[in-house]
Structure 1
Amino acid sequence: MTTTRPADIDWTPTPPPPPRRKLFGDRIGSVEVLAVLLILLVLFRGPLGDAISDPRLQTWTTVFVSVMVQAVPFLVFGVALSAVIAVYVPRSFWAKALPKHPALAVPVASCAGVVLPGCECGAVPIAGSLIRRGVTPSAALAFLLAAPAINPIVLTATAVAFPNNPEMVVGRGVASLIVAMIMGWLWLRLGRAEWIKLPHRPDLDGMSKGRAFWAAVRHDVVHAGGFLVLGAMAAATINVVVPERWLQTVADNAVLSVLALAALAVLLSICSEADAFVAASLSQFSLTSRLVFLVVGPMVDLKLISMQAGVFGRRFALRFAPTTFAVAILVGVGVGAVLL
């Protein structure tokens, strides 16, 4: 049986309609966003000018910019070093450099922070890269805590800030090293692999070394840098909201002064290269409470918690940060009672 097509039907395929031209192309890029922002600034320049003249906003802006200026160079350094580890350092290197037993790898990784000048912002992406390269998480986390506090730059800055109290340098180095090792061993004992959820990084194996390096840098800057901005904004807000007179009230109480400076270290989020000068200016507080400030700050602060949540996941940060905070206070008080 055969079928015939009606003669009055045109079976010629209809060509697709021409693509509609979009105003801004296929997508809105950074140039368009910048143009919109500039137009908004011109339209609302009056209200914005009045708002900027507010002393509280000026304080907020100053603190935010200072945190970013302190942190960004070391973040870039840490991200670059993280990319070097991911691209140029073979996995077999870490098997040779660290002891095979995880419990012994923790103190070795903690002491490795002595030879790496940097701050906590750079240590976070480096620790994430170490875990990706097969380093046991307990050793990588011990390095994460120790490196910002015991490297030569930080210890030298502490000596300059406390010229009449050289024991502060020893106390800071010893206490920070002890906290890092304790947290590494605690993770080895109690930590779970599912608590760490590293963000997906593009596959670098099929790329050239140069392209893989820049791909890793761009990836880590987006993840760590975004959370750094959030942490800096939170620290600036706390600086404006918390009244300064509260510090004067608790300085005379031994227990409250320790807890107050520990909380202040978390809220201020000062880079480890600069926090010693802030601690030295808090002369109304005891040396022990100021030592706790120096031990807690490089390990637990708002920007660090935000960055750890971005690099390792929120489940990790919600467990790791409070535990580190408690251990740092206890160790700082113990070391201060012995050395100060």
Structure 2
Amino acid sequence: MLAQNTLNSARMRVSSTYVLAALVVLGVACHGPLERAAASSARLQTAVTIFAGVFVQAVPFLALGVTVSGAIAAFVSPALLRKVLPRNETAAIGVAGLAGMALPGCECGVVPVARRLTDQGAPGSVALAFMLSAPAINPVVLIATAVAFPGEPGMVVARFTGSLATAFTMGLLWSRIGRPGWLLPRAARHDHCVTGHSRWQIFTETARHDLLQASAFLVLGAVAAAALHVLVPPSWYEHLAGQMATAILVMAVLAIVLALCSEADAFVAASMSALPLLPRLVFLVVGPAVDVKLFAMQAGTFGRQFALRFAPLTFAVALVCGTIAGLACLGGAR
């Protein structure tokens, strides 16, 4: 029995941190063969360059985002947010949406906060408006967008406007059509923000969790950006760029599939320079609102029936809001 407990404890201690460390060591050990393989192919060299560019540009903003996310989890109580909400539900939706500006963090970290808001008595529409706005309009995301699109301030304004409009619209729609029974209570929640017994433990665990998870999706996005440049013929981009409606829909679906971190997705969108700004903006508005990882998180936190209702509606609203914001702020479909 003692040996079994020791084995179980050892398994529990093999966390994602150790997996990441092992992968880093493996990468360093294989540096020589990988470098020789890249040098043997011009296309592979191009892919490596694009991957490194996207990843290196995004890492500082990712690090800042997870640091602030950890600090918020440790020092900002969801009860405080509940106290400042107006009693009028429509006004509360507006306040909750704007409150997202001050709470940067990964989408995964915002879902449990929204769950706690509903547990404390906040209307579901208010919690959902906050859940959609926080990862999309916070300062870290907006600054990252400005850096990824230098000389295009309209992209920052359009992303802020489209994402905030998505949060407000979904909050108002849910206040009209939503039912309390759709937000099912769940006993087992993915709530990394409350682990630990001290503020420092909460800070370090939240930051570690967000960094590892967001880094994984950043790597996936950088790989996808490199692959799209190398594997997809330039003529395909030119053809897609000439069909604006198709390009918008394709980029919206791509945002769902890639499931990038909102603090790094702007650099992936910027790397798709052959496409017009409008489809890339829709990519940035849809991604933080609905993707495959968010669907799984929301299903586990609020219930599968909620996620099946919420995700398709959110996709449609984000697609429309992103397109309208782009047309208004980017000077047309460019």
* TM-score (norm: length of structure 1): 0.67
* 1:307-322 paired onto structure 2 within 5 Å: 307-322=297-312
Superposed, 1:72-221 pairs within 5 Å as: 78=69, 81-82=72-73, 89=77, 91=79, 93-94=80-81, 96-200=83-187, 211=197
Answer yes or no: is the 8 Å Cα contact 1:125–1:224 preserved in 2: no
- Do the aligned partners of residues 319 and 232 (structure 1) sit closer, same or farther apart at CA in structure 2, a change above 3 Å counting? farther
Query: Is 1:268 matched up with 2:249?
Result: no
Identity %: 42
Q: Return the offset for 1:96.
A: 3.6
**What CA distance in whole angstroms lies between the structure 2 residues aligned with 1:109 and 1:173?**
15
**In structure 1, what is the Cα distance between the partners aligned to 2:213 and 2:158?**
31
- Flag the structure with more relative contact order, 1 or 2, with Cα contacts below 8 A and sequence separation at least 6: 2
Counterpart selection for 1:259 from 249, 266, 273: 249
Q: TM-score, normalised by structure 2?
A: 0.68
Q: Give 1:23 deviation, angstroms.
A: 6.4
- Higher-helix-fraction structure: 2
Q: Letter of the 2:232 partner, please give it.
A: E
Q: In structure 1, how many angstroms separate the alpha carbons of the residues matched to 2:296 and 2:214?
A: 7
Question: Which of 248, 263, 267 is the matching residue for 1:277?
Answer: 267
Contact 1:110–1:177 at 8 Å: present in 2 too? yes
TM-superposed CA distance for 1:25, in Å, is 6.7
Residue 329 of structure 1 corresponds to: 319
Partner SS state of residue 323, structure 1: helix
C-alpha distance in 2, partners of 1:98/1:275? 31
- Please report how far the alpha carbon of residue 331 of structure 1 lies from its aligned counterpart in structure 2 after TM superposition: 1.1
Pick from 221, 225, 232: which aligns with 1:244?
A: 232
Whole-angstrom CA distance in 1 between matches of 2:299 and 2:87: 28
Q: Is the 8 A contact 1:75 1:121 kept in 2?
A: no
Q: CA deviation at 1:121?
A: 2.8
Mapping of 1:2-81 within 5 angstroms? 29-30=10-11, 78=69, 81=72
Equivalent in the alignment of 1:338: 328
Distance 1:186 1:72 in 2: 35
Q: How big is each residue's C-alpha offset from its partner over 1:19-65, in whole Å with a ceiling of 9 and x where there is no partner?
A: x987667967517989xxxxxxxxxxxxxx9xx9999xxx9xx99xx
What displacement does 1:119 show?
3.2
- The amino acid that maps onto 1:125 is P
CA contact (8 A) 1:231 1:306 kept: no
Gaps of 5+ in 1: 1-19, 35-48, 203-208
Cα deviations across residues 157-213 of structure 1 (Å, max 9, x unaligned)? 1112222221111111111111100000111111122222243269xxxxxx97497
Question: Distance in 2 between the 1:117 and 1:335 partners?
Answer: 22
Which of 272, 284, 293 aligns to 1:303? It is 293
Question: What runs of 5+ residues in structure 2 fail to find an aligned partner?
Answer: 16-29, 39-46, 190-194
Q: Contact 1:154–1:273 (CA<8 Å) still a contact in 2?
A: yes
Secondary structure in 2 matching 1:273: coil
1:315/1:95 CA distance change after superposition, 3 Å = same
1:263-316 per-position Cα deviation (integer Å, ceiling 9, x unaligned): 111122221122222222222222211111111111112222222222222222
Measured at CA, do residues 83 and 102 of structure 1 come closer, stay the same or move farther in structure 2, by a change above 3 Å? farther
Distance (Å, rounded) in 2 between the aligned partners of 1:229 and 1:286: 27
Corresponding pairs, count: 297
